[in-house]
Amino acid sequence: MKVEIFSDVVCPWCYIGHVRFARAAERFRAKGGTIEVTMRPFQLNPDAPVEGEPLIPALERKFGPGARQMTERVRAVAVEEGLEMDYERAVNANTFEAHRLIEAATAQGLGKEMADRLFRAYFGEGANVGDPGVLSRLAGEVGVHDTGEGAGQVREQLARAGALGISGVPLFLFEGKFAVSGAQPEDAFAAAIDEVAERTGQTPITQLAPPADGCDDDGYCAV
């Protein structure tokens, strides 16, 4: 099953949804299913400065004095999921280069891991995810060789998100045609995965007994 996750690394609900979906996906894999996840870019604030600025004042400019209450609500949900969100340290910054790095990581089979590291760096470590030096360090930690490529692909996917009518994230697109929006509960994601699997003929075979001796489809028989 192919799933594309449209998200932004500075979006708290994307982080929460990313983690919840990963748990649901593991439940499906444990039943014998397969899921291929590809991270897709979305920019909540494409005009954010590359050099970065403290997040709380930026949120207060946008949402007013109630911004801190909003962050406390999200932080409480994050704690329930085992996630750290330190809004006092967080840096509001442009995420285009972060998405480019995820694109480069995807080409190396590490897109999901790179996205996860960027989420943790932004929300838990006060990292400026628009800073080239920070991105280089994080890429090295994940084992990604950043060639500087991927900008064109990011622009293509941002345009695609617009063409698909995506105006909010996270959005989980199954097989290019079934969509689930928002940071759904883990059980809701698991149910959605099962439903898509049934609709597309990818329902895993249920094992009624532990694997035993047998033959594979190449005609090889264990003895």
> What pLDDT does residue 215 have?
52
Could you tell me the fold of the domain covering 2-199?
A: Glutaredoxin (3.40.30)
What confidence category does residue 203 fall into, taking pLDDT thresholds of 50, 70 and 90? confident
Position 206 pLDDT exceeds 90 = no
Average pLDDT along the chain: 91
**Banded pLDDT at 202 (limits 50, 70, 90):** confident
Q: What digits encode the pLDDT tens for the residues 127-170?
A: 999 999 999 999 999 999 998 999 999 999 999 999 999 999 99
**pLDDT digits 0-9 by tens, 1-15:** 999 999 999 999 999
Question: 62 or 26: which carries more pLDDT confidence?
Answer: 26
- Per-residue pLDDT, 65: 86
Residue 213: pLDDT over 70: no
Give tens-digit pLDDT for 100-126: 999 999 999 999 999 999 999 999 999
Distance from C-alpha of 198 to C-alpha of 204, rounded to nearest angstrom? 9
Tell me what percent of the residues of the chain surpass a pLDDT of 90. 87
- The pLDDT score that the predictor gives to residue 33 is 94
What residue spans define the domains of the chain? Answer: 2-199
